[in-house]
Structure 1
Amino acid sequence: MDHYLDLKLLPDPEFAATQLMSALFAKLHRGLVELGSTAIGISFPDGDSAGHGFGQRLRLHGSAAALDQLLAGNWLKGMRDHVQLGELAVVPANAQHRRLRRVQVDSNPERLRRRAIKRHGLTEEQARQRIPDHAGKTTALPFIDLRSQSSGQRFRLFIAQGPLQTNPQPGTFNAYGLSHEATVPWF
């Protein structure tokens, strides 16, 4: 994690920043899947952890070779008019570190009922009694709206930012650039 690259959203009168960030993130996800990389992490240096969004920048972290390999792919196709691509740069020596991880929230009572019917052999009425409409969990975490490539269904990818740390933690990143063990530089 010695290099980084910023992708800054450009203002667009037709699309909200949240829509553009979701589109950019979906393209990055497909690029990471295609590359098969577990060595690239992400951060949102302009965002906050109080659920108010991710801001205008998506920062990619990794080695110079890993980031160059990602950029050599065609994953930014269709987004180049909406994104300002920064220069590959070295992480500042005094950077702190932070873990960004996915948090899955069972927020849809209807989906929970379908799962209970399938897994526990309940009738629809039994599932409705066991899981009332207000049973879905909520969270104030910021999220990105995505569409599953396999099922075509829309879902929210909730992202939690851990506390700042002095020392980096090694590990691998998933195809969203998130990790339960590894940290990314935070500056």
Structure 2
Amino acid sequence: MLTHYFELRAIPQLEITETEVINQVMQSLHQVLVNHQGNIAVSFPCYNVHRTLGGIIRLFGDEAQLQQFKTALQQQAVVSDYTLSLPITSVPTSVKGYLRLIRINPKGQSALRRAEKRLTAQGKWSAEVKSKMVEKWGSVHLNYPHLHFASKSTGQHFIMWLKQQKCATPVQGIFNSYGLSKTATVPDF
């Protein structure tokens, strides 16, 4: 149950932008969220300000879980050096609505090459199939704020595009190791 929250606010730096701070902090958050998967939700109150996620990360959960999470998070140097951590507070009783943060997975040229290789091996590849895939995948406009991650397990770098949806009613659910959910919502205030 998302009864409490606290915020991490990026501290302005001369040598690193606010967006880079949020990227680094989210990388550290992900490492700690793996152990609290399902119970901690993430939102960005300044979502889409200047087409970024803004400089504030809001974390939701119940009071005990947030306290454990915050204690573990304080041991991450990036978090303690580059953010101001506000106290854990109860979620206000009056909210504007509810939000859902969804990861958008765009298809690109590498996906087209993999599909071509797979379908050629199956004897199903043609110019018509290629044009339909380009038409379908080319229609995804990536005008969403995003995060840059580096996978600790594979070493690969990837971009996580985030789409925020407004909802009229709250939906309970489980959050992944990035604090996101395709179904569950967080309060908007």
TM more than 0.5: yes
Q: How does 1:31-46 map to 2 (within 5 A)?
A: 31-33=32-34, 35-46=35-46
Give the secondary-structure state (helix, strand or coil) at the position aligned to 2:20: helix
* Residue 155 of structure 2, aligned match among 152, 160, 164: 152
What's 1:161 paired with? 164
The alpha-carbon distance between structure 1 residues 54 and 79, as it changes in their structure 2 partners (threshold 3 A), is same
TM superposition shift of 1:72: 2.3
Distance 2:78 2:143 in 1: 31
* Identity rate, percent: 30
2:139 maps to 1:140: no
TM superposition shift of 1:150: 2.6
The alpha-carbon distance between structure 1 residues 118 and 140, as it changes in their structure 2 partners (threshold 3 A), is same
What's 2:18 paired with? 17
Distance 2:45 2:156 in 1: 29
Q: Amino acid of the residue matched to residue 148 of structure 1?
A: S
TM superposition shift of 1:79: 2.8
Distance 1:169 1:78 in 2: 32
Aligned-residue CA RMSD in angstroms? 2.6
Distance 1:163 1:170 in 2: 15
Q: Which structure has greater helix proportion?
A: 2
TM superposition shift of 1:120: 2.6
Distance 1:118 1:51 in 2: 39
Distance 1:22 1:84 in 2: 15
What's 1:2 paired with? 3
* Residue 179 of structure 1, aligned match among 160, 178, 181: 181
TM superposition shift of 1:77: 2.3
What's 2:84 paired with? 84
Contact 2:37–2:179 (CA under 8 A) maintained in structure 1: no
Distance 2:99 2:68 in 1: 24
The alpha-carbon distance between structure 1 residues 89 and 18, as it changes in their structure 2 partners (threshold 3 A), is same
Q: Amino acid of the residue matched to residue 21 of structure 1?
A: I
Contact 1:51–1:143 (CA under 8 A) maintained in structure 2: no
TM-score (norm 2): 0.84
TM superposition shift of 1:149: 2.3
Give the secondary-structure state (helix, strand or coil) at the position aligned to 1:163: strand
Give the secondary-structure state (helix, strand or coil) at the position aligned to 1:32: helix
The alpha-carbon distance between structure 1 residues 127 and 164, as it changes in their structure 2 partners (threshold 3 A), is same
What's 1:73 paired with? 72
TM-score (norm 1): 0.85
Give the secondary-structure state (helix, strand or coil) at the position aligned to 1:98: strand
1:13-63 residue CA offsets vs partner (Å, 9 max, x unmatched): 000111111000111011111x14201111111222x87111110000110
Distance 1:3 1:56 in 2: 20
What's 1:47 paired with? 47
